[in-house]
A and B are shown apart, each in its own frame.
Chain A
Amino acid sequence: MRRNYILFCLLGVAAGLTFSAIAQERPNSTGAQSAAVPAAQGNATSQPATHTVAPAKTTLQTAEERAQRLEGEKRFRTNCGRCHQAPHKFPPRVMAAAIRHMRVRAMITDEDMRLILRYMTQ
């Protein structure tokens, strides 16, 4: 009887955690799909996720944004990937707080922090 009770409690906790995680994941499922790929798989040869470019932007701006995005992704995988699996993207203000925390904790450089923040909030 007690074993069943313990098992029931464990299953309840597991189910709760799973549903909570799924609920958190759902709005960012697209980002999660691309970010769930492990770090080394998409190293220097990785392609950015396809996205629609606004027609008003010039080709130069688009190329610059693309370059910054690639560099930000590279810095993310190089710095954050040492300890973390690739997360899905958080809202901008959440990511700004997290990156400030990681700047102190992981001692990433100022330049890396800016590029990673830009990449993670795009």
Chain B
Amino acid sequence: MGNYPFKLDMQVALAKPIPRKRMQLWRGDFCPLPSENQWIYTRRIALALVLTVFFAIQTKAQTQPEEEVKPVPLLTGSGGFITTFDGGDPHLGPIVTPLLLVPIGRRWVFESRATFESDMVQVPGQSGFHGTVEKEVEYAQLDFIANPYMTVTVGRFLTPFGIYNERLYPIWIRNLASDPLILPIGLGPSNASTGAMVRGGFKANPKFNINYTAYFSALSTVSHLDSDRFAGGRLGIFVPAARLEIGGSFQHGLQNERSNAFGFHAIWQPPALPLDLRTEYARSISGSGYWAEAAYRLSQVPYLQNEFRRTQIVARMQQYFVGANTSDALPSVNTKLFEVGLNYYFMDGLKASSNYGREFSTEGNKNIWTLSLTYRFVVPLGHSGSE
């Protein structure tokens, strides 16, 4: 056992966290008791959410049955192995992210996702790679589909700030293996909130849809389930004909410095090209920055179509500026990072990725190489309805 190369040594601290680790500290290190004004503010938000739920339930009778097929509980998720050379230091990152999805009746869904991951590094004087397995419940939420326009969520949920955390974070969805530098802005500890949320999407006009989210998160210091006290929302406008979505996020902290955070996002898929363009900007008291990403599928190459249609090239540029307050989750100095990548989709759910990044900062420039293999699995926990 002593010579086993992947032994898990709980005593060994990580040499340096790799960029995509989501276990991180935020501004919850000092949490004074809330003042009376804060309680009043909190009660108002709670009252607003309760009234929203009440009126949502009142409109329940007006809605139509939503699905013709009875859904089955699912165990899905992804697994992967990510190898990173960060400034020449190798990191091995196995990760498993199971997601349990339990539809209840016609309007309820319980969903929970956990992450088991490690960042194994070489320790001077010891052989092999060492690291700890970090466990986290990313979210465990109960959703009530109140009507076609609104869903009410309670429990622990991914903080809906920007687009990356909620939509693009899973390793089998993202185009590049590393997180954007600004990802921790506006998300709270562990990128999750504990509280209640209302959200939905509807056709506002024949030409565009609107999607919205409003949420309140309470302070939690429970290990692996920590969150900050804040309230916020996100609003997006989606134009289906142009395949364009633009939106913005806002968050108001209800503890410590009671600061605000805001951001903007845009996604565009030109209808005539297999091209994805995504960008995001975020600003808080801890810092600000942006990222812009383009991913092009080589399906228009006229030869070797079976191979090229499975191949995607990606480029991302991002920049981060340090703010007034520092955060352990964010870079400590102004940073620029350019990345290019190549993805190959063997089949649905199985993807190999490689990317190269060059980071520029006052702490020194460095190269970051990443290789990864990711797989998405779906296991129905019951009869799936196939013939």
Q: Could you tell me if B271 and A40 are in contact, using CB atoms closer than 8 angstroms?
A: yes
- Chain B neighbourhood of A84, CB < 8 A: 173
Q: Could you tell me if A37 and B309 are in contact, using CB atoms closer than 8 angstroms?
A: yes
The reply on B3 being an interface residue by CB < 8 A is yes
Whole-angstrom CA separation of A10 from B309 in the bound complex: 27
Among A43, A83, A114, find the residue whose CB has the most chain B CB atoms closer than 10 A: A83
Which residue in chain B gives the minimum CB-CB distance to A14?
A: B373
Q: Please report whether the interface of chain A is mostly helix, strand, loop or mixed according to DSSP.
A: helix
Q: Give min CB distance, A40 to chain B, whole Å.
A: 4
Number of interface residues of B (CB under 8 A): 74
Q: Could you tell me if B202 and A41 are in contact, using CB atoms closer than 8 angstroms?
A: no
Among A6, A20, A78, find the residue whose CB has the most chain B CB atoms closer than 10 A: A78
Q: Could you tell me if A82 and B243 are in contact, using CB atoms closer than 8 angstroms?
A: yes
Whole-angstrom CA separation of A109 from B348 in the bound complex: 25
- Chain B neighbourhood of A90, CB < 8 A: 378, 384
With A10-B81, A96-B67 known to touch, is A32 a contact of B74 (CB < 8 Å)?
no
Q: Could you tell me if A39 and B74 are in contact, using CB atoms closer than 8 angstroms?
A: no
Q: Which B residues are closer than 8 A to A by beta carbons?
A: 3, 5-6, 66-74, 76, 79, 81, 101, 103, 109, 111, 127-128, 143, 145, 148-149, 151, 153, 166-168, 173, 199-203, 209, 211-213, 236, 240, 243, 245, 267, 269-276, 297, 299-300, 309-310, 345-350, 373, 375, 377-378, 380, 382-386
Starting from the known contacts A36-B345, A101-B111, 5 additional A-B residue pairs (CB-CB under 8 Å) come to A96-B67, A97-B71, A100-B66, A104-B145, A109-B148
Q: Which 8 residue pairs across A and B have the least CB separation, nearest first? A: A107-B201, A110-B148, A97-B71, A93-B385, A91-B386, A96-B71, A91-B384, A107-B211
Q: Which A residues are closer than 8 A to B by beta carbons?
A: 2, 5-6, 9-10, 13-14, 17-18, 20-22, 24-25, 27, 32, 35-41, 43-44, 75, 78-79, 81-88, 90-101, 103-111, 113-114, 117-118, 121
